[in-house]
Chains A and B, each alone.
Chain A
Amino acid sequence: SQQGEEDPQALSIQEGENATMNCSYKTSINNLQWYRQNSGRGLVHLILIRSNEREKHSGRLRVTLDTSKKSSSLLITASRAADTASYFCATEETSGSRLTFGEGTQLTVNP
Chain B
Amino acid sequence: NAGVTQTPKFQVLKTGQSMTLQCAQDMNHNSMYWYRQDPGMGLRLIYYSASEGTTDKGEVPNGYNVSRLNKREFSLRLESAAPSQTSVYFCANRGGGAGDTEAFFGQGTRLTVV
Contacts and interface: CB of A to CB of B under 8 A. Distances in A.
B74 interface: no
Interface stretch (A14-22, A63-71, A77-85, A88-96): A88-96
Interface residues of B, number: 29
Contact of A42 (B30, B90, B99, B100): B90
Interface string B75-114: 0000000000000001010100111101111111000000
A102 B41 CA distance: 9
Give the bracket for the number of chain A residues in contact with chain B: 20 to 34
What is the interface of chain A mostly: helix, strand, loop, or mixed?
Answer: strand
A42 B56 contact: no
Interface string A94-111: 001111111110000000
A97 B92 CA distance: 12
A6 B43 CA distance: 13
Contacts of B31: 97, 99
A102 B42 contact: yes
A97 B48 contact: yes
A50 B100 contact: yes
Interface in B45-78: 45, 48, 50, 56, 58-59
Nearest to B6: A42
A45 B107 contact: no
A41 interface: yes
A39 B33 CA distance: 21
B6 to A, nearest CB: 9
Nearest to A43: B105
A96 B50 contact: yes
